[in-house]
Amino acid sequence: MDPISAFAITFTVIFIAGVAFRISPFFTLTGGALLFGLLIGLSPDVLVAGITDGMGRVFGVFAMIILSGMVLSALLKEQGLIEVIIDDLSRLSARPGTLAAVSGYLLSVPLTCTITAYVLLIPVLSPLGRNPHHKTAILTLAAVSATVSYVLIFPSPVVAPVFAGMAQDLSPLTYLAVAIPLSALIVGACIIADRMKEGRDLTTAPLIRPHPIKPETTTNGISPRMRAWLPFFVMGAVMVCAFSSGVSHLIIIEVTPVSGMISALLLAPHAAWRPCTKEGVQRAGVILFDICGAGALGALIVEGGFSTAAYTSLAPVLPQVLIPFTLAAIIQTAQGSRITTAVVTTATLVSIPSLTAGISPLTTVLMVSAGTCLFSTVTDPFFWIICRTTGAPPLEVTLRYTIPLALAGLTILAAALSIQFFTI
């Protein structure tokens, strides 16, 4: 069978298995890799070798990144430090919507998972809602802001594989000089839109602040505030030092989250080390299995010649600059995981240099990021988590989560096209 048809059948099966039967992404993605290989007629040796090689490469890149984020999140939760962070942020703005947006934006990249950041924020942000409708608005705003940060800010697990594969000559500082203002602009627009949507009654009502944190005895002479914030400052300092020393992107991607985890462990009481590392390993294992399934699928797609077939099919009907965006949007819609989309899209683009010939690396990274935002619906696990945690019906979550993210994706796409136009 030709690769395009095999690709369509494979992702249709993945979509049905994920939505209708709620099968774990690891099994749907790995099974999809097997199905794709069989449909295009790969030999058993090539099929198994491709799956194992793809899993191994992805595990090698993501293992420490994801583990570090999960251990850090467990330490913050165990010590009640999320409340400290929210209390400090509320001093800058106590409006519930703004507080939710800023906290989601700041936490998703250091914790290496949007869903983890969102779940940690639920107990703190939910009491700020005046009614169920307002609670849904607050939590979905946190989810949207966390996702925008996650798909744009280096070195998140979405940006990292695209950056390492497609933008090795691009300075991370140059990228961040574009990504940070762009993401801040999008989140700021979401905050303004949320205030307008809630109407005059909510936007002019007295501001709500979280309950003050209870005074806590310092641990080993270290205050809760220092334990809450210092790991984030350490990660920032490590990134600055790495930028100035000129080390490779891969080192920055790996070392930054590890430095945050180590500093958080050193600041935490010894009694928290064992349960938090155990919880972190368990959470990381689930995420890593899913990402490894994506690596297997990406490797088989490349091995099966899909890249060449995709270029041949898309080039006559699309401008070349839109091909990375279109591929990412298709893959995201089919299976829902943004990391998977980044891994598979990058593998496809890297295998055929002509797919991105003449496109600046900065534009390519932004195009893939934009594609991961376009269709965040029933295949997106975050969509259903928001439905469960807010009690809102899917239609309301679509209006408050899916559509804002689609508009964010289109904004990123417009920025990418503008950059490409001015760099030609």
pLDDT higher than threshold 80 for residue 336: yes
Q: Of 34-43, 92-101, 258-267, where does mean pLDDT reach its minimum?
A: 92-101
Instruction: Indicate the residue type of 338.
Output: R
Task: Give the range of the structural domain holding residue 48, as residue numbers without chain letter.
Answer: 3-207+220-423
Cα distance between residue 105 and residue 112, in whole Å: 12
Cα distance between residue 420 and residue 361, in whole Å: 9
Q: Name the band, by pLDDT with cuts 50, 70 and 90, for residue 15.
A: confident
Cα distance between residue 104 and residue 120, in whole Å: 10
Q: Of 237-246, 252-261, 263-272, where does mean pLDDT reach its minimum?
A: 237-246
**What is the pLDDT at residue 136?**
92
Q: Name the band, by pLDDT with cuts 50, 70 and 90, for residue 249.
A: confident
Question: Phi, psi (5° rounding) for residue 222?
Answer: -110, 125
Q: Map tokens 């793809």 to a residue.
A: 54
Residue 195, Cβ density class (10 Å: 0-12 exposed, 13-18 middle, ≥19 buried): middle
Within-domain flag for 54: yes
C-alpha 72: how far from its chain's center? 16
Contact 65, 157 (CB under 8 A): yes
Question: By C-alpha distance, which of 111, 76, 54 is closest to 304?
Answer: 54
Within-domain flag for 197: yes
Q: Please indicate whether residue 367 or residue 14 has the higher confidence score (pLDDT).
A: 367
Within-domain flag for 215: no
Q: Using one digit for the tens of pLDDT, what is the confidence trace for 168-223?
A: 889 899 999 999 999 999 999 999 988 887 654 444 444 455 554 444 555 567 88
Q: Using one digit for the tens of pLDDT, what is the confidence trace for 117-135?
A: 999 999 999 998 888 888 9
Instruction: Indicate the residue type of 172.
Output: P
- Any bridge partners for residue 219, and if so which? 222
Within-domain flag for 212: no
164 token code pair: 């390492």
Question: By C-alpha distance, which of 344, 312, 308 is closest to 329?
Answer: 344
Cα distance between residue 292 and residue 157, in whole Å: 13
Within-domain flag for 183: yes
Within-domain flag for 213: no
Q: Map tokens 């928001």 to a residue.
A: 386
Q: Map tokens 């100035």 to a residue.
A: 244
**What is the pLDDT at residue 201?**
42
Q: What is the mean pLDDT of residues 8-14?
A: 90
Number of structural domains the chain divides into:
1
Q: What is the largest CA-CA distance in the chain?
A: 67
Within-domain flag for 249: yes
Q: What is the mean pLDDT of residues 292-300?
A: 90
Taken in order 415, 382, 63, 12, is the CA torsion positive or negative?
Answer: negative
Strands (E), 286-407: none
pLDDT higher than threshold 80 for residue 22: no
- Any bridge partners for residue 76, and if so which? none
**What is the pLDDT at residue 199?**
58
Contact 212, 87 (CB under 8 A): yes
Instruction: Indicate the residue type of 298.
Output: G
pLDDT higher than threshold 80 for residue 424: no
**What is the pLDDT at residue 219?**
59
Provide the mean pLDDT of the chain: 89
**What is the pLDDT at residue 92?**
84
- Any bridge partners for residue 222, and if so which? 219
Cα distance between residue 369 and residue 148, in whole Å: 9
Q: Is 391 helix (H, G, I), strand (E, B) or coil?
A: coil
Contact 29, 14 (CB under 8 A): yes
Burial 253-272 (b: 16+ CB within 10 A, else e): bbbbbbbbbebbbebbeeeb
Q: What is the mean pLDDT of residues 316-338?
A: 89
Q: Map tokens 């039967």 to a residue.
A: 21
C-alpha 394: how far from its chain's center? 21
Instruction: Indicate the residue type of 397.
Output: V
Q: Using one digit for the tens of pLDDT, what is the confidence trace for 361-407?
A: 999 999 999 999 988 887 888 998 999 899 989 899 999 999 999 99
Strands (E), 137-236: none
Q: For the whole model, what pTM was predicted?
A: 0.89
Q: What is the mean pLDDT of residues 62-80?
A: 94
Contact 39, 341 (CB under 8 A): no
Within-domain flag for 62: yes
Cα distance between residue 374 and residue 94, in whole Å: 31
Q: What is the mean pLDDT of residues 30-36?
A: 93
Q: What is the mean pLDDT of residues 340-368?
A: 89
